[in-house]
């Protein structure tokens, strides 16, 4: 930390006024269902992003990183920045900044910013949201120098603004990452519920040990279309369910549609089994109409020709049910049940949602063979990390498994005024 302050002073010639630290997150279960409105169950990590900041009179945002891999950027103010896809790293900073400026209608002031982080990037631990949330909180604190920031906005408000503003990089994610990183409290995982955003603290069994390991593969979600393709396919499932049950619902989220159709998870699962595995674009237009298809598509999925339907629906409904079962297993200290649900979740991600890769599949298997009671990919997938659950009484061969870290539920974003 002392080094970071020295770095800041050397770079900008002034002392930092603010420090914000934002964790990453490990999702224990509930993958690719937040954007359909279903609850998820992550914990915040000890690895985090730290940013130092001070107001400047140069009428620009100066954005720098201690890691030279991330090039510095200067944004003159006022700025017409309105998103970037694919993004450079500083675009994540601008997401958080713009979310706050827009919401509060601030006349933006110049800010010096210096970032440092140890969350492995593009690895499912949500390094991206950590930058977005840190940037948003810094922006709010710089524009409200006299106030306790969480009197200006609640943590829920901050998380919701950040979830929305991260979409400026093009990914149509839900709000899990920002909520986990902003709302977390040390010592417990969170069950996050959406619309409205709320969270329950989930105590993890004392003898549960969560180990995070890296598969070696990575994927920047905003640089490719896989993520949004899955979002689109889920929306088409939503439209098909509404047609099947002859119901109306303006939302494209499966949870809202499930509610509108008044069906249980079991009925939803039974119904998607009657849908075709894949459908052509022409089939979709015939079933739901061109206008509805356009509502489902996003900027980078305009050219999709085929859509997987049955298996995507199966993943979302079964995963949403597993989150409820996992929360229950935590409450009853049933580590075996927790592990079984995690492994089932991985299979569902891999086979039905096709968001795994051979490196992740091999690593989960290696961990289960090495004594884990369950293991799964964490985050969006297509590379990145797994999370594996062990019982503390089990011997863990760290040399053989070479994990990144043992994950302890950490606290959410924190801000400190330095002067």
Active site residues: 177
Of 252, 105, 101, 231, nearest to 172 (Cα)?
A: 231
How far apart, in whole angstroms, are the C-alpha atoms of residue 134 and residue 137?
Answer: 5
CA-to-CA separations, 64 to 73, 74, 117, 266, in angstroms, rounded: 7, 9, 12, 50
How far apart, in whole angstroms, are the C-alpha atoms of residue 99 and residue 165?
Answer: 5
Shortest Cβ distance from residue 173 to ligand NG1 (Å)? 2
Instruction: Assess 230 for contact with ligand NG1 (CB under 6 A).
Output: no
Q: Which of residues 47, 73, 176, 197 is near ligand NG1 by CB under 6 A?
A: 176
Which of ligand ADP, Mg ion, ligand NG1, none has residue 338 at its interface (CB below 5 to 8 Å by kind)? none
User: For the packed helices 226-245 and 265-272, what is the interaxial angle rounded to 10 degrees?
Assistant: 100
Instruction: Assess 123 for contact with Mg ion (CB under 5 A).
Output: no
DSSP code for 62: E
Beta strands (DSSP E) in 290-408 are 306-308, 374-377, 385-391, 405-407
Which of ligand ADP, Mg ion, ligand NG1, none has residue 166 at its interface (CB below 5 to 8 Å by kind)? ligand NG1
- Find the binding residues for ligand NG1 in span 97-126 (CB under 6 A): 124, 126
Shortest Cβ distance from residue 160 to Mg ion (Å)? 17
Dihedral of the alpha carbons of 98, 99, 102, 107, in degrees to the nearest 10: -50
Instruction: Assess 129 for contact with ligand NG1 (CB under 6 A).
Output: yes
Select the span of 36-44, 113-121, 334-342, 346-354 touching ligand ADP (CB under 6 A). Answer: 113-121
Beta strands (DSSP E) in 169-286 are 189-193, 198-202, 208-214, 278-280
Residue 108 CA to its chain's centroid (Å)? 27
Q: Would you state the structure tokens that stand for residue 362, as one six-digit string?
A: 């091999």
Q: Which of residues 17, 21, 29, 31 is near ligand NG1 by CB under 6 A?
A: 31
Instruction: Assess 125 for contact with ligand ADP (CB under 6 A).
Output: yes
Instruction: Assess 409 for contact with ligand ADP (CB under 6 A).
Output: no
Instruction: Assess 89 for contact with ligand ADP (CB under 6 A).
Output: yes
Which of Mg ion, ligand NG1, ligand ADP, none has residue 115 at its interface (CB below 5 to 8 Å by kind)? ligand ADP
Which of ligand NG1, ligand ADP, Mg ion, none has residue 173 at its interface (CB below 5 to 8 Å by kind)? ligand NG1
Select the span of 192-200, 219-227, 274-282, 303-311 touching ligand ADP (CB under 6 A). Answer: 219-227
Q: Which of residues 56, 128, 318, 348 is near Mg ion by CB under 5 A?
A: 128
Residue 68 CA to its chain's centroid (Å)? 25
Residues near 43 by beta carbon (within 8 Å), at least 6 away in sequence? 25, 26, 28, 180, 184, 188, 189, 190, 204, 210, 407, 409, 410
Shortest Cβ distance from residue 92 to ligand ADP (Å)? 5
Q: Which of residues 41, 53, 95, 131 is near ligand ADP by CB under 6 A?
A: 131
Size of the site for ligand ADP (CB under 6 A): 21
Dihedral over Cα of 374, 411, 175, 330: its sign: positive
Q: Which of residues 380, 387, 401, 413 is near ligand NG1 by CB under 6 A?
A: 380
Binding site for ligand NG1 (CB under 6 A): 31-32, 34-35, 124, 126, 128-129, 166, 171, 173-174, 176-177, 221, 379-380
Binding site for Mg ion (CB under 5 A): 126, 128
């Amino acid at each position: 930390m002392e080094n970071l302050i020295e770095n800041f002073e050397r770079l900008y010639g002034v002392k930092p006024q603010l420090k914000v630290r934002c964790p990453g997150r490990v999702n224990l279960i509930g993958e690719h269902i937040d954007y359909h409105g279903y609850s998820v169950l992550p914990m915040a990590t000890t690895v985090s992003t730290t940013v130092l900041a001070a107001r400047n009179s140069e009428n620009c945002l100066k954005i720098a990183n201690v890691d030279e891999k991330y090039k510095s950027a200067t944004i003159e103010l006022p700025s017409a920045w309105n998103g970037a896809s694919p993004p450079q790293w500083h675009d994540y900073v601008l997401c958080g900044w713009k979310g706050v400026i827009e919401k509060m209608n601030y006349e933006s002031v110049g800010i010096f910013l210096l970032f440092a982080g140890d969350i492995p990037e593009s690895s499912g631990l949500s390094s991206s949201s950590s930058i977005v949330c840190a940037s948003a909180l810094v922006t709010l604190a710089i524009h409200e120098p006299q106030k306790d920031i969480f009197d200006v906005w609640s943590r829920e408000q901050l998380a919701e603004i950040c979830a929305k503003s991260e979409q400026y990089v093009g990914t149509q994610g839900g709000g899990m990452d920002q909520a986990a990183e902003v709302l977390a409290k040390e010592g417990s995982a969170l069950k996050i519920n959406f619309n409205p955003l709320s969270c329950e603290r989930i105590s993890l069994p004392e003898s549960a040990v969560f180990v995070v390991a890296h598969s070696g593969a990575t994927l920047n979600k905003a640089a490719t279309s896989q993520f949004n393709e899955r979002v689109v396919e889920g929306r088409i499932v939503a439209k098909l369910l509404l047609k099947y049950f002859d119901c109306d619902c303006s939302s494209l989220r499966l949870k809202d549609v499930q509610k509108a159709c008044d069906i249980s998870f079991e009925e939803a699962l039974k119904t998607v089994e009657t849908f075709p595995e894949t459908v052509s674009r022409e089939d979709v237009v015939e079933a739901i109409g061109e206008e509805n298809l356009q509502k489902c598509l996003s900027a980078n999925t305009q050219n999709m020709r085929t859509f997987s339907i049955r298996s995507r629906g199966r993943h979302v409904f079964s995963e949403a049910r597993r989150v409820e079962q996992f929360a229950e297993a935590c409450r009853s200290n049933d580590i075996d049940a927790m592990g079984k649900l995690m492994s089932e979740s991985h299979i569902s991600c891999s086979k039905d949602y096709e968001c795994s890769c051979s490196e992740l599949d091999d690593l989960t298997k290696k961990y289960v063979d090495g004594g884990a009671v369950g293991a799964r990919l964490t985050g969006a997938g297509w590379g990145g990390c797994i999370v594996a659950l062990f019982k503390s009484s089990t011997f863990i061969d760290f040399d053989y498994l070479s994990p990144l870290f043992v994950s302890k539920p950490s606290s959410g974003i924190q801000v400190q005024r330095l002067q």
